[in-house]
Amino acid sequence: AQKITQTQPGMFVQEKEAVTLDCTYDTSDQSYGLFWYKQPSSGEMIFLIYQGSYDEQNATEGRYSLNFQKARKSANLVISASQLGDSAMYFCAMSAPQNSGGSNYKLTFGKGTLLTVNP
Amino acid sequence: DAGVTQSPTHLIKTRGQQVTLRCSPISGHKSVSWYQQVLGQGPQFIFQYYEKEERGRGNFPDRFSARQFPNYSSELNVNALLLGDSALYLCASSTQAKQGSGEKLFFGSGTQLSVL
């Protein structure tokens, strides 16, 4: 079974500073994907960044980068130059087969981290 | 282009009632997935549909059912509602039949269901 652990229920950061949101995962699958989604108070889950299990380089998307350490099974999100609009819930998720050896995947989410950006 | 749309946005039901939630995927997306998000938790996978066929089901009781229509829109039905069914129900669409490891899901804003 797949499991995502986000150990930080809440984080605070000053505007314009960088922040790291932690994520560890557990899976026995060799092929999987790691995602970060942002959920503002409106409820919509907004895709931020993706890292494949076979990707050798860390993913980057604008101000977002994913610090992927496969041996440690961690996939931390780094947000540079925080903005007030970054205040939201952040979810780490893993895409892995729904069943062992299957070809249909599902997302398994962590419990999330509430990020608050202070002016 | 319109994103994933869900209706209604809010719903209040009483225990034992039945509810139907609706989802329209992004144009061109043929796969629809449903997730339940209980307050304070991350979303949990309920169903995935592609071309009107169920392609995956999460660990939910048979009270939960879904279907997909020829235009790729989808409905989620929940029978005999329990207090514990109160949650945000999220619909997501994607392009692929097989939701591969790298397949990005596009989510709607959800339907907030309250069971009293």
> Mapped to the 3 state alphabet, what secondary structure does A26-59 carry?
ECCCCCCEEEEEEECCCCCCEEEEEEECCCCCCC
Q: Given an 8 Å threshold on Cβ–Cβ distance, is A43 in contact with B110?
A: yes
What does the block give as tokens for B94? Answer: 């994607």
SS3 A76: strand
What does the block give as tokens for B27? Answer: 């144009």
A91 contact residues in B (CB cutoff 8 A): 42-43
Dist. CA B59–CA A13, nearest whole Å: 37
Q: Given an 8 Å threshold on Cβ–Cβ distance, is A45 in contact with B101?
A: no
Residue count (chain B): 116
Nearest-CA distance A26 → chain B (Å): 15
Radius of gyration, CA atoms only, chain A:
14
B25 CB within 8 Å of a chain A CB = no
pLDDT in tens, A50-84: 999 998 899 999 999 999 999 999 999 999 999 99
Residue entry with tokens 């061109």: B28
Q: How far apart are the first and last CA of chain A?
A: 41
Nearest-CA distance A113 → chain B (Å): 10
**Residue in chain A nearest B97 by alpha carbon:** A104
Q: What is the pLDDT along chain B (116 residues), one digit of tens a residue?
A: 679 999 999 999 999 999 999 999 999 899 999 999 999 999 999 999 988 888 888 999 999 999 999 999 999 999 999 999 999 999 999 886 555 557 788 999 999 999 99
- CB A27, CB A87: distance < 8 Å: no
Q: Which of B101, B104, B107 to mutate to test the interface with A (most CBs of A within 10 A)?
A: B101
A37 contact residues in B (CB cutoff 8 A): 107
Among B35, B11, B36, B21, smallest CA distance to B73 is for: B21
Q: Which of A95, A105, A108 to mutate to test the interface with B (most CBs of B within 10 A)?
A: A105
Instruction: State how far the alpha carbon of B11 is from the alpha carbons of A100, B61, B62, B111, in Å.
Output: 36, 21, 21, 7
pLDDT in tens, B59-83: 999 999 999 999 999 999 999 999 9
A33 contact residues in B (CB cutoff 8 A): 100-103
Return all residues near B26 (Cβ < 8 A) that are at least 6 apart: B1, B2, B3, B4, B93, B106
Q: Given an 8 Å threshold on Cβ–Cβ distance, is B103 in contact with A52?
A: no
The one-character DSSP state at B24 is E
Query: What integer pLDDT is reported at residue B98 of this predicted model?
Result: 55
pLDDT in tens, A31-46: 889 999 999 998 889 9
Q: Given an 8 Å threshold on Cβ–Cβ distance, is A44 in contact with B107?
A: yes
SS3 B27: coil
Dist. CA B20–CA B42, nearest whole Å: 22
Q: Given an 8 Å threshold on Cβ–Cβ distance, is B101 in contact with A112?
A: no
Average pLDDT of the residues of chain A: 92
Among B26, B8, B63, smallest CA distance to A43 is for: B8
Instruction: State how far the alpha carbon of A83 is from the alpha carbons of A13, A17, A33, A113, B15, in Å.
Output: 9, 9, 27, 16, 43
**Residue in chain B nearest A110 by alpha carbon:** B42
